[in-house]
Amino acid sequence: MIEHFLVGLALLLGLALGFLFARRRRGGETEAVHQILLPFTGTEISRRAIDAALRLARAEHATLMPAYLARVPKSLPLDCAVPKEADRAMAMLEAIEQRAAAQDVPVDARIERGRSYRHALARLLDHEAFDRVVVSATATGSTGFSGDDLVWLLEKAPAEVLILRPGPADHRVLSVNGRPPAVPA
Amino acid sequence: MKSGRYKIFLGMAAGVGKTYRMLQEGHAEAEAGRDVVIGYLEPHKREETSAQARGLEAVPRREVAIRDVAVEEMDLPALLVRAPAVALIDELAHTNPPGLEHGKRYEDIADVLAAGIDVFSTVNVQHLESLNDQVAELTGVRVRETVPDSVLGSADEVVLIDLTPEALIERLRAGKIYPGENVQAALDNFFKIENLAALREVSLRQVAEDVESKRLVYSEVEQVGTRCEEDKVAADAPKAVGERLLALVRPQPSSQRLVRRAWRSAQRLGTGLDLLWVKPPGQAIEGELERQVTALRRLASVLGATFLIEEHDDLVAGAARVVRERGSTYIMVGESNPPKGFARLREPLPQRLMRATPPGVDVRIVAHRSLKEEGR
């Protein structure tokens, strides 16, 4: 009698552990696959672009990779420390992370240096893998990406590129231009 | 036995004159009456270097067979038996062939120092582990033989052999670094003005940091000479003037918030920042882990912080060792997940850190955003 009980208990324990193990593995695989890149420059980024990237990330259980692109003057080595740029980047990334956390989207941020924004983006494309890129085309060009940059991105990015059209809500930006980061709406 | 004194001649690239300067100082020590021998010298067929070595006794090298090929290596046992006052040992980053006492020459040097022998040695900046990636990106050339940064940190004195890039290229063109047939290839690849300028900056920065972390402060008590023996030991240990921040990170995205906070604090305090990952021994850095380690290295480089990897099976002991070595005054750690099972019985990490580190080191906890959000 006691033997039957012990065999049954061992069986149940095995099943429970197997279920937990499989669930953890499935979870791990999902996390490792998807990355959505959100490159930006300067001290403001369109909220539409952030929201679009977050919606996609949430729907696809993906990780959002906001990437601040920093320009390094030619007089300095490309890989020197850039504290002023980093200061701007930190505030922006903090604000984006707040917004992402509110929507349960994991974030894996980057700061990439280059001689130009396009060069920084090219360096990022070289050593990071992602499935989508979200950029916004604005009428004012204030994001720092020119039309040429966007065409270049379409040609070079080994991922699906989502370019947002200029829209009426583009004046709503997440901005940290010398002030504390904007609180997410 | 009192450990020997360790002096390292650091250069930005081959040919700046590290070995030459080491030999010069060896001669000066010998002239002052000390027993100086060459433990190992790599003159690279440079006439000036070979000439400078003349007059100094050298411990004969030993032959080691690697796949039927005989190579000459430093004879560590013979050097220890010879027991000079000062040993000159070139190229501390060198990897020994299998079968010798240690895998790396800097480990041989540790034995020599432990025997109470002073050591003068040489290394190029690109061999330092934390700078390896950065230098590879700057120059396109990756150096395989690396040494932990702690090797440089453990030196009693680091002498930077500085030379302008233009002067180094001039030496190269004059055939003073490589034989004539290799000069053009060197000029086309590694020895470009921009590469050398960047390496020079990295070297200068490295030494400046080293100096900063080794600057000593003395108490008034010491000046009037009334310290007890225990106090003397404590005051002789390196202490940074002002503050130095150390953030305990793990190679995962959630560490970035901790790095941001730590960097902001370091900026406010006007102090240096070290990022430390205590890696479990034997853990391979590959796949996703490698990606995250690279991301942390790059972030550290952008911020001007130093990324350190300490291999240790005990997080607290590993961190405490680095805290002492770097003279850290603040440790920042991320918020831990709520403990489960038997882990609840364990003392929390901040308390363990406080007990393991020198008195006066503050521990600060940075909240994990997702935990905060869950708790709302």
On whether both A22 and A56 belong to a single domain, the answer is no
| Residue A180 falls inside a structural domain | no
On whether both A14 and A105 belong to a single domain, the answer is no
> Does residue A176 surpass a pLDDT of 70?
no
On whether both A9 and A81 belong to a single domain, the answer is no
pTM: 0.51
**What average pLDDT score do residues A120-148 get?**
78
> Does residue B232 surpass a pLDDT of 60?
no
On whether both A51 and A126 belong to a single domain, the answer is yes
Is-contact B147 B106, C-beta < 8 A? yes
**What average pLDDT score do residues B270-292 get?**
89
Q: Helices in B238-348 by DSSP H: which ranges?
A: 255-269, 287-303, 315-326
Across chain B, mean pLDDT equals 81
Number of domains in chain A: 2
On whether both A99 and A150 belong to a single domain, the answer is yes
pLDDT at B211: 59
| Residue A47 falls inside a structural domain | yes
Domains assigned to chain B: 6-214 (3.40.50.300), 233-375 (3.40.50.620)
| Residue A6 falls inside a structural domain | yes
On whether both A103 and A85 belong to a single domain, the answer is yes
Confidence band (pLDDT; 50, 70, 90) for B230?
A: very low
On whether both A126 and A39 belong to a single domain, the answer is yes
pLDDT at B35: 95
φ, ψ at B291 (rounded to 5°): -60, -45
ipTM: 0.73
Name the minimum distance, in Å, from the CA of A154 to any CA of chain B. Answer: 25
B371 interfaces chain A, CB cutoff of 8 Å? no
Is-contact B253 A108, C-beta < 8 A? yes
pLDDT tens, residue by residue, B169-182: 888 787 777 777 77
List the domain range (segments joined by +) for residue A162.
Answer: 34-175
φ, ψ at B148 (rounded to 5°): -60, 145
User: Nearest CB to B301: which of A79, A90, A104?
Assistant: A79
pLDDT at B209: 64
On whether both A20 and A56 belong to a single domain, the answer is no
DSSP A59-82: HTTPEEEEEEEEE--TTS-TTS--
Burial of A151 (0-12, 13-18, 19+ CB in 10 A): exposed
| Residue A171 falls inside a structural domain | yes
∠ CA(B101), CA(B104), CA(B110), 5° rounding? 75
On whether both A18 and A40 belong to a single domain, the answer is no
Domain with residue A41: its CATH number is 3.40.50.620
| Residue A131 falls inside a structural domain | yes
Count how many pairs of residues, chain A against chain B, have C-beta atoms within 8 Å.
Answer: 67
| Residue A185 falls inside a structural domain | no
Contacts of A116 (CB under 8 A, 6+ apart): A71
On whether both A26 and A50 belong to a single domain, the answer is no
- Residue B41 has which token pair? 């010298």
| Cβ contact, residue pair A83, B304, below 8 Å | yes
pLDDT at A142: 52
On whether both A49 and A62 belong to a single domain, the answer is yes
On whether both A90 and A59 belong to a single domain, the answer is yes
| Cβ contact, residue pair A111, B257, below 8 Å | no
